[in-house]
Amino acid sequence: MFGAWKAICDEEGASLIELAFVMFFLFPPMLLGIVDVGFIEYASVENASAARAGAAYAAQYYIQSQSPGPPTLPTVANVTTAVTNDSPELQNMQETGTNFIVTMSTGCNGGAATTGNTVPVCSPTTVLPFVTVTTQSTVMPLIKFKGLIGPFTINNSATINLVN
């Protein structure tokens, strides 16, 4: 009789059973949170890549436009097309009804930037002209629960010097 009572009251392995119950309820939300953070980070990397592609497009356009006359820069609409073409995955991740917001600015290193696509006039011996492309996209998390954090706005920019 005493052996049966000891077997019933024995606490060996109880911690393992408690851990199994706790992990059953904590592990899935924790795993979903890790996946969601990875998803948002991936969207940020895609957005940064799109900004670099837009700046590279603007610099390439600038260099190629110099042959018959003075150099020009592409319009913001052209740069937006380059940004959009570079990141088709990010377009699928964006919140419904939102698009890329692309801004472009130019200037001379060491000076203030000017919004738009005007070609900067810089002193050739001291500073280099540059173009900066800034992208913004709004991304929804993978896991959508009412009351949890909503869409994330991701901003990135890329700057390229305009040299021949």
Q: What is the pLDDT of residues 84-140, one digit of tens each?
A: 888 888 877 777 766 778 888 887 777 777 777 777 777 765 566 788 888 888 888
pTM: 0.75
Check if the beta carbon of residue 140 is closer than 8 Å to that of residue 95: yes
> What pLDDT score was predicted for residue 7?
57
Please give the tally of structural domains in the chain: 1
| Cross-strand pairs, 154 | 137
| Residues of the domain holding 109 | 2-161
Confidence of residue 39 (pLDDT cuts 50, 70, 90): confident
Give the list of residues 6+ apart from residue 105 with CB closer than 8 angstroms, or none.
Answer: 113, 114, 115, 116, 131, 132, 134
